[in-house]
Amino acid sequence: MKFGVVVFPGSNCDYDCYYVIKRVIGESVDFIWHKSSNLKGYDCIVLPGGFSYGDYLRTGAIARFSPIMKEVIEFSKNGGLVIGICNGFQVLLEAGLLPGAMRKNRDLLFICRYVYVRVENSDTPFTRLFHKGQVLHIPVAHFEGNYYIDPQSLSRLKMNSQVVFRYCSKDGEVADEFNPNGSVYAIAGICNERGNVLGMMPHPERCSESILGSEDGKLIWQSIVKSINERLAKE
């Protein structure tokens, strides 16, 4: 199986994702230049964090028009797994692969720190190694992670179990004080209806090694690997 990490101009967690997939998880992985238009042979596409195009117009707004994004949309329509982390999540929103939009954090400051998130849906290909309600210790680092969605669409998200992660306390309690950025419904990550596209603000690649203080992110990568291997075995 093979991962592809997309590199947009201004991506800056591309190398981190690459490193974790290759050295920690031990799977094969390529960088994919944003001008490329071929995703043949890949099983999972990672849209990494960073500041694509400096986030100068809106986060993810310009990257969404990179040639590769046409392919990513195609790829996801065919059931390929796509995970967008932080800026990658923002790109997915702008591209319409996920619903909603990002606003500036409630406190109007960039925040980089460890938070806790609760797994709301452990049936996705990205979270199957967790159990529902499991609490992860995982870092966030963003200025625009204040997720917005209108009330009707939110009910739809909930109904379809598309809310994958919510900010919470160490013990899994969801409350305003544990929501770092003001996100609607304390949302930290969502997937599409089909479940093969995940967007999340926290950074699993930053907590996949014990030397970095937490390995909770590792299970996300391992879930992906397991899902793909199962599918490949079937084919």
Partner 1 sequence: MFKVKIYISLKEGVADPQGITIKNALDSLGYSGVERVRYGKYLQVYLKNSDKKKLQKKIDDMCKKILVNPVIESYEYEIEEVK
Partner 2 sequence: MKEPVKIDLNLVKAHGLTEEEFERIKRILGREPNFTELGIFSVMWSEHCSYKSSKPTLKKFPTEGERVLVKAGEENAGVVDIGDNLAVVFKMESHNHPSAVEPYQGAATGVGGIIRDIFTMGARPIAIMDSLRFGSLNDPKSRYFLRGVVGGIAFYGNCIGIPTVGGETFFDESYRGNPLVNVLCVGIVKKDMIVKARARGVGNTIFYVGSSTGRDGLGGASFASREITEESHEDRPAVQIGDPFMEKLLLEATLELIKSGVVVGMQDMGAAGLTSSTVETASRGNCGVEIDISLVPRREEGMIPYEVMLSESQERMLVIVKKGMENEAKRIFEKWDLYAIPIGKVTSDGIFRIKDKDRPVAEIPVKSLTEDAPVYLRKRVKPAYLDEVSYLDIDTLPRPDDFNQVLIKLLTSPNIASKEWIWEQYDHMVGINTVVLPGPDAAVLRVKGTKKALALSCDGNGRYCFLDPYEGGKIAVAEAARNVVCVGATPIAITNCLNFGTPTDPEIFWQFTRCVEGMAEACQYLGTPVTGGNVSFYNENPTGAIDPTPVVGMLGLIENTDLICTPWFKEEGDLIVLIGDGKISLGGSEYLYLIHGLKKGRPPELNLSKEKALYDVCLKAIGKGLIKSAHDVSEGGIATSVVESCIINEEKFMGARIDLKNLEKEGERDDLLLFGEVQSCIVASCSPQNIDSLEKIAREKNIGFRLLGEVTGKELIIEKNGKKLISQNTANLYKLWREALSLKLR
Tokens describing residue 197: 């596209």
> With contact defined as beta carbons under 8 Å apart, do 219 and 121 qualify?
no
Per rule CB under 8 A, is residue 148 in the interface with partner 1?
yes
Q: Which of residues 110-129 bind partner 2 (CB under 8 A)?
A: 110-113
Determine the interface stretch with partner 1 among 25-33, 59-67, 124-132, 218-226 (rule: CB under 8 A): 59-67
129, amino acid identity? L
98 or 188, CB closer to partner 2?
A: 188
* 203 is an active site residue: yes
CA distances from 180 to 94, 142, 154, 217 (A): 22, 10, 19, 19
Shortest distance, position 104 Cβ to partner 1, whole Å: 6
**Among the options 86, 168, 191, 207, which is catalytic?**
86
**Among the options 44, 120, 142, 203, which is catalytic?**
203
Tokens describing residue 126: 């990205």
Question: Considering only residues 10, 134, 135, 231, which one is a binding residue for partner 2 as defined by CB under 8 A?
Answer: 10
CA dihedral 228, 6, 91, 8 (to 10 degrees): 180
Determine the interface stretch with partner 1 among 16-24, 54-62, 115-123, 200-208 (rule: CB under 8 A): 54-62
Q: How many residues bind partner 1 (CB under 8 A)?
A: 23
- The SS3 assignment for 203 reads coil
Angle made by CA atoms 21, 202, 141, in degrees to the nearest 5: 110
> Which residues are catalytically annotated?
86, 203, 205
